[in-house]
Structure 1
Amino acid sequence: MSSVTQQHADELTQGAIQLGVSLSPLQHSQLLAYLALLIKWNKAYNLTAVRNPDEMVSRHLLDSLSLVPFIDGDTWLDVGSGGGMPGIPLAILFPDKHFTLLDSNGKKTRFLTQVKLELKLANVQVINARVEALQPEQPFAGIVSRAFSSLADFANWTRHLGSQHSQWLAMKGLHPSDELQVLPSDFSLQAEHALAVPGCQGQRHLLILRRTL
């Protein structure tokens, strides 16, 4: 018996509709295959604090898919990707864009590499390194993080990975008003959105930052 149930499949279908995200049959099956791998590997690798598989559709898959309307540009970096959120779901949704998944934890990058292989995600690159050590040939069009760090640390640690044309997308729970007060002077808040994630009880916010210098 697969760890992924019909209930999970239905919840994904309904949640995507509520988010206004169109899933092809292939994308739907890839997202469920990713969920199955996450459930399986989480037992040994501690990939996510969410232990209950019944919470993973909303808190991982749908939470990641809530970013779909904000993904512009062709090259994206998921910083502190961990178990692959939001990078893996976004890579499934945007097969024509390239996603680099960065994490300093070797267990987590081994899992991400397995996901890439099993789901045949040719548009995913997995890097096991600290963010300060990453030196890309070109600036990323977008840099995303989910509960990675404070906004100031996110900006400071990834400043060298983008340009004035890049977008920084920070996924947060409660609105981080105090963190915005200490944003580095060369970053500005371009937009902020309250995200309504189906099945998610807590607050979710997206902050979009730009480099001004």
Structure 2
Amino acid sequence: MNEADGTEVPAELRTLANDPLNGDARVAEYLGDSFPRVQAFAELLADQGVLRGLIGPRELTRVWERHILNSAAVVPFLGEGTIVDVGSGAGLPGLVIAAMLPERQVVLVEPMERRTSWLFEAAERCGIDNAIVVRGRAEEVRESVEADVVTARAVASIDKLVKWCAPLLSDTGSMALLKGRTAPDELERAKYVLRKAKLTGQVHEAATIDGVDPTTVVTLSRTA
């Protein structure tokens, strides 16, 4: 989830052309068969993201690194079953995940109407037909949504995410959260909440392509 500052950006700048990773063969190799769908989403995000308050104008030159590859890094940690992206916002990481894992059902949970409209539109325009958009907060949809894996990016601290999202998890469910460098500190602060939810945490450094900083992923798994 990302917020823009409302700055107007000329149409000629709303493109991936100025992104140094655009057209990089390593990106296509990393994404494999999913590359056409992911690229379509990246292009749409570059074109519409600032206008619709999803990303900031200064992020247009690094959509691939900051948003797409950062989101893609969580995929190896998603186990099996239904994936629920909480606070999906711009579709990061949810739509990237759905584009990369077309055989999996990905539920995008988002409370804001204008963002759910974007998610519906983006999924349709990019040929991502395994994404389901649900409007609401995590704590509001627990009766209708069950997750084998919950993911989230730039939504809240780990302790808050556990309180909100643990009720969505199946009996064997887990969480894979995109975090920053303070992840170990967040885990320490969340230890009592994790214990109550019967979850244990681990911090991972998830690499994508050479030259791009690894993404920090925190996995939360059921304890015995």
2:221 to 198, 210, 213: 210
State the distance in 2 between where 1:16 and 1:189 align. 35
Give the total of aligned pairs: 206
Query: Is the aligned partner of 1:81 residue 2:109?
Result: no
TM-score between both structures, scaled by the size of structure 2: 0.81
Q: Which residue of structure 1 aligns with residue 121 of structure 2?
A: 114
State the distance in 2 between where 1:70 and 1:87 align. 14
Q: How does 1:19-34 map to 2 (within 5 A)?
A: 21-24=30-33, 27-34=34-41
State the distance in 1 between where 2:131 and 2:147 align. 14
Q: How does 1:23-102 map to 2 (within 5 A)?
A: 23-24=32-33, 27-49=34-56, 51-102=58-109
Q: Which residue of structure 2 aligns with residue 160 of structure 1?
A: 167
Q: How does 1:185-204 map to 2 (within 5 A)?
A: 185=195, 186-198=197-209, 199-200=211-212, 204=215
- Structure 1 residue runs without a partner (length 5+): none
1:132 to 134, 139, 144: 139
Q: Which residue of structure 2 aligns with residue 4 of structure 1?
A: 16
Root-mean-square deviation (Å): 2.4
TM-score between both structures, scaled by the size of structure 1: 0.85
Q: Which residue of structure 2 aligns with residue 14 of structure 1?
A: 26
Structure 1 counterpart SS, 2:204? strand
Q: What percent identity do the matched residue pairs reach? A: 23
How has the CA–CA distance of structure 1 residues 71 and 50 changed in structure 2, closer, same or farther, with 3 Å as cutoff? farther
In the TM superposition, residue 110 of structure 1 has moved relative to its aligned partner by 1.0
Given that 1:95 and 1:123 are in contact with CA atoms closer than 8 Å, whether structure 2 keeps it comes out as yes
How has the CA–CA distance of structure 1 residues 22 and 48 changed in structure 2, closer, same or farther, with 3 Å as cutoff? closer
Given that 2:28 and 2:35 are in contact with CA atoms closer than 8 Å, whether structure 1 keeps it comes out as no
State the distance in 2 between where 1:58 and 1:80 align. 21
- The amino acid that maps onto 2:59 is N
| Partner deviation per Cα, 1:91-136 (whole Å, 9 max, x = no partner) | 1111110000111122211111101111232210011211111035
How has the CA–CA distance of structure 1 residues 123 and 159 changed in structure 2, closer, same or farther, with 3 Å as cutoff? same
